[in-house]
Each structure stands twice: as C-alpha cells, then as structure tokens.
Chains A and B, each alone.
Chain A
C-alpha cells in the first residue's frame, strides 16, 4: 500500500520535475563565444565555425535561426580562451623549470618516518591483478576483476567486515577505504604508467591475459601476463612506489627524474560516499616540506590521486591533459623486508 502510494507520488513528482526543469533550462542557450572557444581550443582556425554555417546547410538561403537566435551576429572580439595548462599531477622531481615555480613550500608539515630504502628496482614480471592478491580476493569489493559494491546488494564480507544490505554510502566509503588501505596498498609495490595524451590503454579490454597452460596461482586463476608494459613507446612516464602498512611510502623509481628515488613520504587512503559505490577511492601522498619530491597542484608536497579499480588494475587520469594512468601492484618480498625495519 505504502509502495503503491510512493510509486504514484513518484510518478506525479516526475511530471512536476519534468515541467520544472524544462521551464528552468529551455530559456537558456550557450553563449556565442562557446563556438569560437571550442574552435580555438581545437586549433581549428581555418574555417568559419559560427552556427550560421550549419544553418546555411540546413536551410539554404534562409536566415531563420531556430537554435541560435540573436547570437550569430555578435562578434566576440574579446573572447579570451583559457588554454588548459597541462598539469602533471603525478609526483615529479623538482629540478624542472616548470616545477620550480610550483615547488614553493607551503604550510604542509608532516613527519615522515624513516625507512631504509631499497635500491631502484628493476621492473620484474611479478605484477599481478589486484583481485588475485592474497586477502584481497576474499573482500566484498572485488567481483570479476572490478572493485564495486552495488547498493542494496548483500554485503556479507570476509574478514569480519559486515555491511547490511542497505548500508549507507558513508559506510560503503569507510569500508572501501579501509579495505584498499589494508589489503590493497599495504606492503605492496606499485608501478604507475602514464600514457601519452589521448592514449587509453584500457580501450582494447582487459589488460591481464590468463595463460590456460600455466598452473593456477593467486586465488585459483591460471597465471598470466599484463599486456601493459613500462617499455611501451606510448608510455611517457614510469613511476614505482613502495607502500608499507604503517603509512610509510618510498619512491622507488622515476623514468625521467631519478633524483627522488629513495625519498620517503606518508600515504593514506580515503573514499567519498558519493564515489565509493563505483569503487573509486583517493590515494593521498604527502612529502616533507624540504623533500625533493614535489608535484604541480595547490600543495606541491601533497597529492590526491582519484583512482578506480577496474580489471585488476587501478586507473586514474589527468583530465585536463587527457592523460591516462594505470597502476599495477606487486607482492614483493623486498618491500616486506624493507617495511619490517
């Protein structure tokens, strides 16, 4: 009875919303400068991009402008297009000219625990899918290679974690962050590949191919190989980090700027209630004010990377630069030994 009442109310509410939103938005149109701005940003200067060019195609010889009334004759001579500045947000060395400007020390004050860094690692071939790692596989967050927890599904979890079937987004976020921190990054080595602008390494599907002829590994899957490689010519940057389970992190490798290899930082993970249902979380890495580690961003010593786990890897992006980043984790005995010290 109550459900019927709600359904009827929702149907009428839907009609009200349709009317309301339509009334709000139907009177607005994009400003004329939008066309010139897009044209400019695409570097397409040769042709006329004004809406009239299309209108002429649609209605030859007729200057009625059904979509853009009153806009096309406004020549915006003063259109200044904000050119997106490529903001490379991954940690990078402070020896570049561009980074020097962003490296002004801020009020960031952290105490980074000492760790005995291991030497630069030669990229081994022991990277494994996220969901094949010990402990992670039993987690409620990983299903078919993706880390997701659709709302309103039973969330009986391994390891004593239990979320009710109607757990709040806040609870999902809290457990996701804890799980990622404890079972994902803790005591792992992380290889992060950044691809050239416009390249999506995930476009061709899953990037881990199981070999049916190999003996099972991980949680019973046959072992296989990532199709992604640090030596791929489309990769513009390779970084590796070690994550101890006590919050210490060590910079292990940077393909461009080796200066900070061995530098330490602290790390943490959090998830937002609005994002957690999609398996999205944030990795925060913070370096000391006098560390050579720095990044472009509001705080050059602190970076917040938004990550989503898909198909056994962790993906992120620098939206402004159209750069995709893919992270792969490794169980590495050297990391465990280092973190034990």
Chain B
C-alpha cells in the first residue's frame, strides 16, 4: 500500500472525524484494524478476545475522538486505547496462561527460521513461556519486539511510566531467558 496515500487518507479522515463525520471513521478502522488485531492477538493469543478488544477499542476511540491531538501519532493513540482494553478484558476473562512447568513441556506449532540460534525445541519452549507471562508483561514484549517500539514509545502508548515499562520488560525477559536456559 502506498504509504503517502495512506497517510493522506488518514489525515483527511481525522479532520472529518473531528468535525463529527462518523462515516469517515471507517477509513481509520480500515487502515489500522489489521495491525491492531495482530497486536491484540499477539498479547492475548486468543482470536475471539482479540476481535472483541479491537471492536471495543475502535468504539471507544470514536467516542473520545475529540480528545485526539492531530499533531500526535494516531497509531500510538489507538494502541493505547487497545492495550487498556486488552488488559481489562484479559483480567475479566482470565487470559489463558499456563504453568511454566507445563508450558515448557508442551510443544507449540512453531516453525524455526533459518536465522534463529535456537533449536526448534527451544523455540517451542519460548513460545509456550510467552503464555506464562502476565498480561502487562506480554504487552511490553509485544510492543517492544513486534511493534518495534522504544521504551519511551511504549510508555506513551500504554500510559505507564518508563520505569514501569523497563521493569516489566526486564522481568519478562528474565522469565523467558530462564525458560530456555543456556541456549543463548
């Protein structure tokens, strides 16, 4: 997709939405729904939960659209709403987590890329270990390593302090590193 055209469409849509044009909001939904869905799925590992979270996030985004500052990143703003929703929903619906011992003994459908230094078995264990993390830890891991956000960007997107982001990331990495032992 042409990035310049996408940005142009987004800006037009933002202006119209701020003027109250609800139908134009479909442009924003179309442009960002796939990325948001993948982020939600990465955190929850649950297709239905991710779909619900994305729906709720967009509905809430529309209701709060007059609070969006056009000079800031729409993507980050939407991500913040989504992350809050995912965490709320995860707590209510008990995000599926597994015991670390159980997780490391169960294989998961992971393919091993050629550039990976891990054995296929270790990648299975790493994938399973991701599901043992808390919702907050999954959020920072997904935003850091899938969305490629920096710590300040994660702090902005989540509303957490940078120290909190660093702490959660550090604890998550420690857990994951311990899971694969000396494989790295």
Interface residues of A (CB under 8 A from B): 6, 8-10, 12-26, 28-31, 34-35, 37-39, 41-44, 46-47, 49, 51, 53-55, 57-58, 66-68, 84, 148, 150-153, 197-198, 200, 203, 274, 277-278, 319, 322
Chain A residues within 8 Å of B116, by CB: 16, 19
**CB-nearest residue of chain B to A53:** B26
Q: How far is the CA of A49 from the CA of B115 in the complex (A)?
A: 41
Chain B residues within 8 Å of A43, by CB: 22
Q: Is the CB of B62 within 8 A of A37?
A: no
One of B42, B62, B167 near A277 (C-beta < 8 A): B167
Q: How far is the CA of A66 from the CA of B60 in the complex (A)?
A: 27
Of B72-80, B99-107, B136-144, the one contacting chain A is: B136-144
Chain B residues within 8 Å of A13, by CB: 173, 176-177, 180, 184
Chain A residues within 8 Å of B67, by CB: 200, 203
Q: Is the CB of B60 within 8 A of A49?
A: no
B64 within 8 A of A: yes
Q: How far is the CA of A325 from the CA of B38 in the complex (A)?
A: 32
10 further A-B contacts with Cβ under 8 Å, apart from A14-B145, A152-B167, A319-B88, are A13-B173, A13-B184, A16-B126, A23-B110, A25-B38, A30-B51, A38-B58, A47-B26, A51-B30, A322-B63
Q: How far is the CA of A322 from the CA of B64 in the complex (A)?
A: 9
Chain B residues within 8 Å of A24, by CB: 41-42, 45, 110, 127
Q: Is the CB of A28 within 8 A of B177?
A: no
Q: Is the CB of A10 within 8 A of B177?
A: yes
Given the interface pairs A30-B34, A54-B27, the reply to whether A25 lies near B145 with Cβ below 8 Å is no
**What is the interface of chain B mostly: helix, strand, loop, or mixed?**
helix
Q: Tell me which residues from 23 to 69 in chain B have a Cβ below 8 Å from any Cβ of chain A.
A: 23, 25-27, 29-31, 33-34, 37-39, 41-42, 45, 47, 50-51, 54-55, 58-60, 62-64, 67
What is the distance, in angstroms, from A173's C-beta to the closest C-beta of chain B? 13
Q: Is the CB of B29 within 8 A of A38?
A: yes
Given the interface pairs A30-B37, A58-B6, the reply to whether A14 lies near B144 with Cβ below 8 Å is yes
Q: How far is the CA of A35 from the CA of B134 in the complex (A)?
A: 29
- Interface residue range, chain B: 35 or more
Q: Is the CB of A54 within 8 A of B30?
A: yes
| Interchain Cβ contacts under 8 Å between A and B, 29 examples | A9-B177, A13-B180, A13-B184, A16-B118, A16-B123, A16-B126, A16-B184, A17-B126, A17-B141, A17-B176, A18-B146, A20-B127, A21-B42, A21-B142, A22-B146, A23-B110, A23-B111, A24-B127, A25-B41, A29-B38, A30-B33, A35-B33, A42-B22, A42-B25, A54-B31, A57-B9, A68-B34, A150-B167, A151-B167
Q: How far is the CA of A295 from the CA of B167 in the complex (A)?
A: 37
What is the distance, in angstroms, from A81's C-beta to the closest C-beta of chain B? 8
Q: Is the CB of A41 within 8 A of B135?
A: no
Q: How far is the CA of A167 from the CA of B12 in the complex (A)?
A: 49
Q: Ordered nearest first, which 7 A-B pairs have the shortest CB separation?
A: A54-B30, A151-B167, A150-B163, A30-B37, A47-B23, A17-B145, A25-B38
Q: How far is the CA of A109 from the CA of B164 in the complex (A)?
A: 39
Chain B residues within 8 Å of A12, by CB: 117, 184
Q: How far is the CA of A277 from the CA of B113 in the complex (A)?
A: 37
Q: How far is the CA of A67 from the CA of B163 in the complex (A)?
A: 36
**What is the interface of chain A mostly: helix, strand, loop, or mixed?**
helix
Q: Is the CB of A34 within 8 A of B38?
A: no
Q: Is the CB of B54 within 8 A of A34?
A: yes
Q: Is the CB of A54 within 8 A of B51?
A: no
One of A15, A34, A277 near B37 (C-beta < 8 A): A34
Chain B residues within 8 Å of A22, by CB: 146
Q: Is the CB of B64 within 8 A of A198?
A: yes
Chain B residues within 8 Å of A38, by CB: 29, 55, 58-59
Given the interface pairs A20-B110, A277-B167, the reply to whether A148 lies near B161 with Cβ below 8 Å is yes
Given the interface pairs A9-B184, A19-B116, A54-B30, the reply to whether A29 lies near B37 with Cβ below 8 Å is yes
Q: How far is the CA of A232 from the CA of B146 in the complex (A)?
A: 44
One of A8, A44, A55, A67 near B23 (C-beta < 8 A): A44
Q: How far is the CA of A24 from the CA of B118 in the complex (A)?
A: 17
Chain B residues within 8 Å of A54, by CB: 9, 26-27, 30-31
Q: Tell me which residues from 114 to 169 in chain B have a Cβ below 8 Å from any Cβ of chain A.
A: 115-118, 123, 126-127, 130, 134-136, 141-142, 144-146, 148, 160-161, 163-164, 167
Q: How far is the CA of A67 from the CA of B5 in the complex (A)?
A: 15
Chain B residues within 8 Å of A37, by CB: 55
Q: Is the CB of B146 within 8 A of A274?
A: no
Q: How far is the CA of A57 from the CA of B5 in the complex (A)?
A: 9
**CB-nearest residue of chain A to B179:** A13
